[in-house]
Amino acid sequence: SYELTQPSSVSVSPGQTARITCSGDVVAKKYVRWFQQKAGQAPMLVIHKDKERPSGIPERFSGSSAGTTATLTISGAQVDDEADYYCFSVADNNLDDGVFGGGTKLTVL
Amino acid sequence: QGRLVQSGSEVKKPGASVKVSCMGGGYIFAGYYIHWVRQAPGQGLEWMGIINPGSGRTKYAEKFQGRVTLTTDTSTKTVSMELTNLRSDDTAVYYCTREPTTTWGQGTLVTVSS
């Protein structure tokens, strides 16, 4: 089965750029999605198909993928972006195995 | 976008089974696959499986094979997740989410305790 590896934590100051990586063989084979999760809330999709932003997600959120590593970039991070972030790989709308990364705690202070 | 509404919290003893439901509304129910995801206290997200609500076809994570069953009822626009032989480490919030994972249920806390 596939695995996705994320750093456990990333810390930036407000206004700086935060980058969170997600590595694994499956990244080279399938699209990656990124979720933001704040305490006590359901996850929220912020990036799908490696780099597409759903409606309503601020432009400061962007995604990229190269080889076996996907990256979520938050340009000009805000205090409100402090949350846990998870990468997830699965084929779109298909009966396919899904796998989450272990999650990254983003601290903005 | 639609919505997903899940059933309420459950408390179960080890060895028992639990069934959590997820009712879809405001969209074409049979048109979008539904995933089940769980999150143990203080832990990360864990993918459990996926179901085609129209056909009932499923795919389960290897870890849960033999213990989890996903079913669908198109008449009530409801998918359900049943987990058997519960253990204490099955204590978690269980979520349903509709492809492309933009819509999530509110989560259902399942507590397994003797």
What is the secondary structure of A19-49 as a DSSP string? EEEEE-GGGGTS-EEEEEE-TTS--EEEEBT
Measure A42 CA to nearest chain B CA, in Å: 7
Query: What SS3 class is residue B27?
Result: coil
B22 has a pLDDT exceeding 90? yes
Residue B99: exposed, middle, or buried by beta-carbon count in 10 A (0-12, 13-18, 19+)? Answer: middle
User: B107 and chain A: CB distance < 8 Å anywhere?
Assistant: yes
B1 has a pLDDT exceeding 80? no
pLDDT band at A68; cut points 50, 70, 90: very high
Measure A77 CA to nearest chain B CA, in Å: 22
At A1 the pLDDT is 78
Strand B108-112 to B10-12 pairing: parallel
Residue B57 to residue B77: CA distance in whole angstroms:
15
Mean of pLDDT over chain B: 96
At A16 the pLDDT is 97
A92 has a pLDDT exceeding 80? no
Q: Kindly state the average pLDDT of the residues A60-78.
A: 97
**How much of chain B, in percent, has pLDDT values that exceed 90?**
96
Within 10 Å of residue A57's Cβ, how many Cβ atoms?
Answer: 17
C-beta atoms of B33 and A95 within 8 A: yes
pLDDT band at A94; cut points 50, 70, 90: confident
Residue of B nearest to A43 (CA): B104
At A71 the pLDDT is 98
Residue of A nearest to B94 (CA): A42
